A and B are shown apart, each in its own frame.
Chain A
Amino acid sequence: MEPVLELKNVSAGYGRIQVLRDISLKAFPGEIVCMIGANGAGKSTTLMTICNVVTAARGDILYRGNRINGIKFSKLPPMGLCQVPEGRRIFPRLTVQENLELGAFFRKDSTRIQEDLDMVFDFFPILRERANQKGGTLSGGEQQMLAIGRALMSRPRVLLLDEPSLGLAPLLVGQIFNKITEINRQEGTTILLVEQNANVALKVSRRGYVLETGTVVMEDDVKNLLQNPDIRKAYLGE
């Protein structure tokens, strides 16, 4: 089966500082793939490189078969590739509703946008309550839901999630990840999940990559990763 998203020997960085060193990665349609690694391993940089916010020095980024290396990152959402970046980055001085509507900024089909809006409000009822509140006034968990809701509004084919569990209480983390699996099952969205919280990430996804200091050190099905002693010691805290 053709991977929907593929990185071939990609290297990238900021100026002369190399962050990603020769990374290759695949994500198949409808699959949840996770990438775990310590802080500063280059997880966020990988997602930013996929979206061309960080330009890849070498290697190819293939999305549905065609090379998207040089494309302006504002052209990706219409192609179905969306990202919820690190730290959620919702628009603090826009209302919750406006944040969500911006998710569908590039879409022209206004009737279906309204449907999606109701769908997101059903997914995250708290957001319906706070629809006219400014984004900045929401709590961490609510902001995270808003960020994911906003990404849903663009009906992504591939969703890049950067540490959704960041700064959330364990109970909330559980809720968020149920929603993520629900989205994947219902909408069939391919999800590339970047997480520090290895436990939760590995439970939810089918395949996983382990990233250390900019290189992929291991790639396997989740079952094998869970048994692997090194992984258990390094990431699962046994």
Chain B
Amino acid sequence: MTRGSSKAWIALGVGLVWFYLILWPLMGITPEGLQFIPSLVVWLKVAAAAFVLVSLNQLRTAGALAFIGKPTTAAWTEIRKIYKKVPVRVWISVVFFLALVFPLTTGRYEKDVVINVMIYVCLGLGLNIVIGLAGLLDLGYIAFYGVGAYTYALLSVHFQLSFWLCLPVAAVFAAVSGCIIGYPTLRMRGDYLAIVTLGFGEIVRLILNNWMSLTNGPNGILGIQPPGLYWPGFSSGLTLEYIWLKKLNYLYYVILALVVFTIIAVHRLNYSRIGRAWEAIREDETAAELMGVNTFTLKLLAYAMGAVFGGLAGAFFAARMRFVSPESFTFLESAMVLSMVILGGMGSIPGVILGALALIALPEAFRGFELYRMLAFGGAMVLMMIFRPSGFWPAKRMGQRSEERG
């Protein structure tokens, strides 16, 4: 047992003692008397699981798992090499093709989950502009999602406007609310920004819930039209009849188009002059200001651009659910989108996509756990953050010195 491995066992032992110290009072102290059995049972299960994990880890470090370890690492380096050789454009088209074929081969549930993932990819990429690029900690991003959703909902229900017409309108409304929310925060830095944006998020949610005349309050808005399309109907000669894209397959392609648009737009923004100015603001706002970067307008622009994608995703969400209620726009949703951006890898488009996949697919994967679902999800978030602090796929440009690029 080398020194390193005994340290791991000691840590495991201490950890398990602490765990029992915390678990037992919650389960063991009852008015009838002190019980130990229920808490011991839970403790033993956790201890066994931890024991297995640590011993696996020990074996890995001691190289005993070489027969699995070596080929997997070899394969992984192989993939990495291929990935580097093959131009990125090829990879993107492969992924795109897979995305196109996906709905034809899967059941409703998988399509629904992937549609949700894609909505959150749009949200994540939007928030990524605010946090990943401009470095503004925004805890109320879901407000724009709500504004977009309610804009389309109201326009569709009251004025029967088509989805495609309302998309830009929702985006504009979201951008305007982005500026309204952004303006007061311009002079603030760091965590003061967080609480102000959090406050705005809550204000928007409360207004949605309480302004009965406009938003019908907690009852939400019903009967929103799905996106429609003029499709060459062969039934009565070559006429263009208007069909409602209600089926999941059609909705899938609408959101796929939206995601592709978002990725292209965010990509171009990343590498544009504005993108670099945002990164300058993120790295050191005062230095950026000294170099003539007009931080006020650019920060507002960051909020507005982020809000645009939030609004678009909101409009699609309303069209897809055909019902909108304030319960979908809580602070927890903002926290989820924030986690996706950071967990996936700040500032990197593939990272945010991976983050969205993880944080939407994971709770669905844990659906079998019923009551333990959210417990496992919270635990997974902590573990993912500890093992990948800079995210699954961190951005290459993120704060790297030139020599480290090598």
Contact = CB atoms under 8 A, between A and B. Distances in A.
Q: A contacts B directly in the complex (CB < 8 Å)?
A: yes
What range describes how many residues of A lie at the interface? under 10
B32 interface: no
B370 interface: no
A200 B67 CA distance: 64
B403 interface: yes
A13 to B, nearest CB: 11
Interface in B369-406: 401, 403-404
Interface string A6-20: 000000000111000
Nearest to A15: B404
Nearest to B404: A16
A16 B402 CA distance: 11
Contacts of A15: 404
B276 to A, nearest CB: 24
Contacts of B403: 16-17
A147 to B, nearest CB: 27
Interface in B283-297: none
A1 to B, nearest CB: 34
Nearest to B406: A16
A16 B404 CA distance: 7
Interface bin, chain B:
under 10
A156 B22 CA distance: 42
B167 to A, nearest CB: 46
Nearest to B401: A17
B400 to A, nearest CB: 10
Contacts of B401: 17
A14 to B, nearest CB: 10
A67 to B, nearest CB: 15
Contacts of B404: 15-16
A58 B295 CA distance: 45
B156 to A, nearest CB: 54
A125 B403 CA distance: 49
B398 to A, nearest CB: 14
B174 to A, nearest CB: 41
Interface in B321-362: none
Contacts of A17: 401, 403
Contacts of A16: 403-404
A37 B403 CA distance: 25
A16 to B, nearest CB: 6
Nearest to A16: B404
B203 to A, nearest CB: 34
A16 B401 CA distance: 10
A148 B144 CA distance: 55
A15 B401 CA distance: 11
A17 B401 CA distance: 10
B369 to A, nearest CB: 41
Nearest to A17: B403
A238 B336 CA distance: 66
A16 B403 CA distance: 8
Interface in B73-113: none
A187 to B, nearest CB: 39
A128 B183 CA distance: 49
A17 B402 CA distance: 11
Nearest to A14: B401
A69 to B, nearest CB: 14
B7 to A, nearest CB: 12
A15 B399 CA distance: 13
A17 B404 CA distance: 8
A15 B406 CA distance: 13
B6 to A, nearest CB: 16
A21 to B, nearest CB: 15
B102 to A, nearest CB: 41
A56 B404 CA distance: 19
A206 B373 CA distance: 70
A169 to B, nearest CB: 29
A121 B329 CA distance: 62
Interface string B144-155: 000000000000
Interface string A136-177: 000000000000000000000000000000000000000000
A39 B404 CA distance: 23
5 contacts: A15-B404, A16-B403, A16-B404, A17-B401, A17-B403
Cβ-closest 5 pairs across A and B: A16-B404, A17-B403, A16-B403, A15-B404, A17-B401
Interface of A: 15-17
